[in-house]
């Protein structure tokens, strides 16, 4: 039986392609006042590792990651199972997304090239890049893994060429 690769039927991505070709659209935004319990639920429901945080005017202000929630000692399921195995209980510190989020150090426009996105990810050791449209509204997020995977497996001029 002969196997055929599925990626050969599409045009290979090149460094000059816009980042919008690989970005993931924003499925959910969270207001700054979102309680940590709600954040945990959203991470689980959407199988997300990062959630964009918006202010009252729905302007993008930063990112909160599942790791931020867990590192803050708020993931009580993990704490109860691994850290407090003898029936002890730790109440989570009351906080909201604003307290845990990281302001986005870098934001790219949807027409930013793959080459530029890869440079930002590598040089600044970024895990995620928020993507905005021409009006500055958040439209998607690109993970470092997506950018670097595409740069390694693209043909033609390649992202690092």
22 has a pLDDT exceeding 60? yes
Domain 15-153 - what CATH class? alpha beta
In this predicted structure, what is the pLDDT of residue 135? 82
Contacts of 19 (CB under 8 A, 6+ apart): 108, 110, 111, 112, 113, 114, 116, 117, 129, 131, 142, 147
Q: How far apart are CA 16 and CA 75, in angstroms?
A: 41
The pLDDT of residue 81 is: 45
Whether residue 158 contacts residue 14, with contact meaning beta carbons closer than 8 Å, is answered with yes
Report the SS3 class of residue 112: coil
Which pLDDT score, from 0 to 100, does residue 79 have?
44
* DSSP string for residues in 60-107: EEEEEEHHHHHHTT--HHHIIIII-TTS---PPPP-BHHHH-B--S--
pLDDT(157) > 60? no
Which residues are paired to 130 by β-bridges?
A: 141
For the stretch 48-81, pLDDT in tens is 889 999 988 888 899 998 888 887 664 555 444 4
pLDDT tens digits along 101-142:
999 889 999 999 988 998 999 899 998 999 998 888 889 999
- Taking the model in full, what pTM does it have? 0.70
């Amino acid at each position: 039986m002969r196997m055929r690769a599925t990626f050969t039927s599409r045009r290979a991505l090149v460094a000059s392609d816009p980042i919008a070709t690989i970005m993931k659209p924003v499925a959910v935004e969270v207001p700054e006042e979102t309680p940590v319990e709600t954040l945990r639920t959203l991470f689980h429901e959407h199988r997300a590792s990062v959630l964009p945080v918006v202010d009252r005017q729905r302007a993008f202000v930063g990112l909160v990651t599942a790791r931020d929630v867990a590192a803050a000692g708020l993931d009580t399921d993990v704490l109860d199972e691994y850290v407090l195995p003898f029936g002890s209980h730790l109440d989570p510190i009351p906080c909201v997304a604003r307290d845990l989020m990281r302001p986005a150090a870098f934001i790219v426009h949807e027409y930013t090239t793959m080459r530029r996105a890869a440079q930002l990810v590598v040089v600044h050791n970024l895990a995620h890049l928020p993507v905005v449209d021409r009006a500055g509204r958040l439209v998607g997020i690109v993970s470092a893994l997506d950018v670097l995977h595409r740069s390694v497996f693209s043909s033609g001029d390649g992202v690092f060429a």
